[in-house]
Amino acid sequence: MREAVFLRLNEAKWKQYESQPPAGPDELAARFVELTDDLAYAQTFYPASPTTRYLNDLTARQHQAIYKNKTESTGRFRHFWRQELPLLVACHHRTLAVSLVLFTVFTLLGALSAAYDDTFVRVVLGDAYVNKTLENIERGDPMAVYKGMSETPMFLAITVNNIYVALVAYALGATLGLGTVWALFRNGVMLGSFQYFFYQKGVLLPSLLTIWIHGTLEISAIVLAGGAGFVMARGILFPGTYSRAVAFRQAARDGLKLAIGLVPIFMVAGFLEGFVTRHTGMPVWLSVAIIGSSAAFIVWYFILYPRQLMARLRAHSANPSPASF
């Protein structure tokens, strides 16, 4: 857009930021994010303009206000989890929803393929795994596969592998999202055929009560990692009013933050798989409690809390008040 139009659309907002103090740290952070976006746009299209110099100065002052008298090692970490990551989730909730829909479709496709082709599970999971699981089912312990390795090595191996899978799913967003679709396809088909295999053998309930102790967090994080990849792909495909290069950098940064934010979830999932899932004889109520707690956390932190936080920020932007929250 022309600089005059850009200035007319945003000048009132910039003057407000310059003259009125923020209502609290949340609004200050939201202002800084918005100003950096405006500055990036101005630097791209009006690099030598007074508007760009003005925005650079205003953004620098906002940055100083954020980090003034702040303990970086703790404050930045806390801010990331309390505000930055949830707000990113809220901003990209539709893109993340696309990842969930695709993964669900691929999971159903895997289950359907296993239902119509008895050899499909072996193609996906491998003969060695299927044969070992069949032996475990015959012995009356269908989930014994989770007891095959000692706790700590299993925890470390699974956690590292899951983080790697998530980062790959994110990085493949640079292929216009096609690689991320493939990553979700592989994992979804594997999950669907895996669960149908246990249904076919009459041990679906024991498998659900065991696998989803760690799978609730693990699968949710994989879906979110796919969403991070789609965030980056969207920046390439739909740059909006920004140049494609600027839009790609911003989207890649947002996607990377989303992917990195999943690391603790993978660590907890790996801990559960290495140390808890192996106890296949635990009471049903305990298994249900762990699965329910994990699901409740995912729903709260990645759906409910981001919406609440975004609504509060919008309310404060529309009606600034001296009260902090």
Determine, yes or no, domain membership for 322: no
Residue 121 and residue 60 share a domain? no
Neighbours of 281 (CB within 10 A): 8
Residue 263 and residue 228 share a domain? yes
Residue 107 and residue 60 share a domain? no
Mean pLDDT, residues 231-253: 87
Residue 221 has pLDDT above 70, yes or no: yes
Range of the domain at 168: 79-315
Residue 83 and residue 64 share a domain? no
**DSSP string of 220-279, one letter each residue:** HHHHHHHHHHHHHHHHHH--TTS-HHHHHHHHHHHHHHHHHHTHHHHHHHHHIIIIITT-
Q: How far is CA 301 from the centre of its chain?
A: 11
Residue 108 and residue 238 share a domain? yes
- Residue range 49-82, pLDDT digits in tens: 777 777 777 777 776 666 554 444 456 788 889 8
Residue 293 and residue 248 share a domain? yes
Residue 142 and residue 59 share a domain? no
Determine, yes or no, domain membership for 45: yes
Q: Give the pLDDT band (50/70/90) at residue 12.
A: confident
Determine, yes or no, domain membership for 321: no
- What distance in Å separates the CA atoms of residue 219 and residue 100, rounded to the nearest whole number? 10
Percent of the chain whose predicted confidence (pLDDT) is above 70? 90
What's the total number of domains in the chain?
2
**DSSP string of 72-124, one letter each residue:** HHHHHHHHIIIIIHHHHHHHTHHHHHHHHHHHHHHHHHHHHHHHH-TTHHHHH
Determine, yes or no, domain membership for 74: no
- Residue range 95-147, pLDDT digits in tens: 999 999 999 999 999 999 999 998 999 999 999 999 999 999 999 888 888 88
Q: What per-residue confidence (pLDDT) applies to 239?
A: 83
**DSSP string of 5-64, one letter each residue:** HHHHHHHHHHHHHHHS--SSHHHHHHHHHHHHHHHHHHHHH-TTSHHHHHHHHHHHHHHH
Mean pLDDT, residues 201-217: 95
Determine, yes or no, domain membership for 225: yes
Residue 95 and residue 13 share a domain? no
Residue finishing a domain among 69, 87, 112? 69
Residue finishing a domain among 46, 69, 92? 69
Residue finishing a domain among 40, 69, 98? 69
Determine, yes or no, domain membership for 33: yes
Q: Are 241 and 41 in contact (CB under 8 A)?
A: yes
Residue 53 and residue 84 share a domain? no
Residue 87 and residue 65 share a domain? no
Q: Give the pLDDT band (50/70/90) at residue 319.
A: low
Q: Give the pLDDT band (50/70/90) at residue 185.
A: very high
Determine, yes or no, domain membership for 324: no
Considering the chain, what is the average pLDDT of its residues? 87
Residue 12 and residue 133 share a domain? no
Determine, yes or no, domain membership for 323: no
Instruction: Rank 17-21, 40-44, 198-202 by mean pLDDT and report only the highest.
Output: 198-202
The backbone torsions φ and ψ at residue 242, rounded to the nearest 5 degrees and listed phi first, read -85, 160
- Residue range 282-304, pLDDT digits in tens: 999 999 999 999 999 999 999 99
Residue 87 and residue 41 share a domain? no
Q: What per-residue confidence (pLDDT) applies to 180?
A: 97
Q: How far is CA 5 from the centre of its chain?
A: 35
